[in-house]
Amino acid sequence: MFWPWQNSRKPTCELDASLLTNIGCCRDTNEDAGQIIRPADSRVLAEKGMLMIVADGMGGCEGGEIASQLAIQIVGQSYYANDSEASAALVSAFTKANDAIHRLSLERPDLKGMGTTCTALALRDDLAWVAYVGDTRLYLIRNGGIYRMVEDHSAVMELVKQGVVSLHDARHHADRNVILRALGTHEQISVATWNAPLPVRIGDQFVLCSDGLYDLVEDEEIRDTACTRTPDVACSALIAMARERGGSDNITVGVVHVSPLQTTRPQVVRETRAVEVTR
């Protein structure tokens, strides 16, 4: 809890963020979901940061859509309701989302087996935290390089770790979309996090995306697009790129730019948007 007399941190930079989701070119429904949350309370924003979440659902009937929507709603609500430090609050939020999705899948036969990947980035002006399950990716772009900041929980990534398949060949491997870990598919879930928060630098960019993007767009293309455009334009351009290459899956992408603080604009997070773009 944040009391009125507590001193809050003073922001040192601005976070400009945007998120878009698109059904793609081949699917009848969008099982992806994404959300950006910026707390209205400046003290909460300064301490817990903004939150960007992307989930990629799976399951018959409406299962995938329901699972991904539940994930982003519960993770977002639970994270800010938890007074623990950011990493612990994220793990607790993911656990609650897993419980809710799994319980609903048992209550409704038509939703049996539903689940969702989920990656959440909590970002303050000085530090970043992440929690993830599945293969929704987070990239950091820094000093001209692009770095994968999470490890896919997939069958092909296990082969890469064993030295059986190279990272290059994994991109086109038959098992690249076989997920080994997801929210809601089992009663218990192991949530992955970083060992420590990441110090944020001015000039950093973060990209959070589902496999509908990175299966069709190379890491270097993601870097070049995110670096040279504003977040909203970058999101639109990346989705257009994936659609031009077939758009075989739903596509969701969020982009964050860390910029110097503008004294004429005191807010820490400029306007964000998270919208559904239809065909």
Neighbours of 169 (CB within 10 A): 13
Using an 8 Å Cβ cutoff, are 6 and 15 in contact?
no
- Please indicate, yes or no, whether the overall pTM of this predicted structure exceeds 0.85: yes
Using an 8 Å Cβ cutoff, are 116 and 56 in contact?
yes
Residue 125 one-letter amino acid: D
Three-class HEC string of 155-192: HHHHHHHCCCCCHHHHCCCCCCCCECCCECCCCCCCCE
Average pLDDT per consecutive 10 residues, the chain (279 residues; last block may be shorter): 43 91 96 97 93 94 94 98 97 99 96 97 96 98 97 84 78 78 96 97 98 96 98 99 98 97 56 43
Domain 13-277, what architecture?
A: 4-Layer Sandwich (3.60)
CA distance linking residue 13 with residue 49, whole number of Å: 12
Q: What are phi and psi of 104, to 5 degrees?
A: -65, -35
Alpha helices in the chain (DSSP H): 42-48, 63-81, 86-107, 155-161, 167-170, 211-214, 219-228, 231-244
Computed on alpha carbons and rounded to an integer, the radius of gyration of the chain in Å comes to 18
- Residue 8's pLDDT is 53
Residue 49 one-letter amino acid: G
Neighbours of 232 (CB within 10 A): 18
pLDDT tens digit sequence for 152-187: 998 887 887 888 887 777 777 777 778 899 999 999
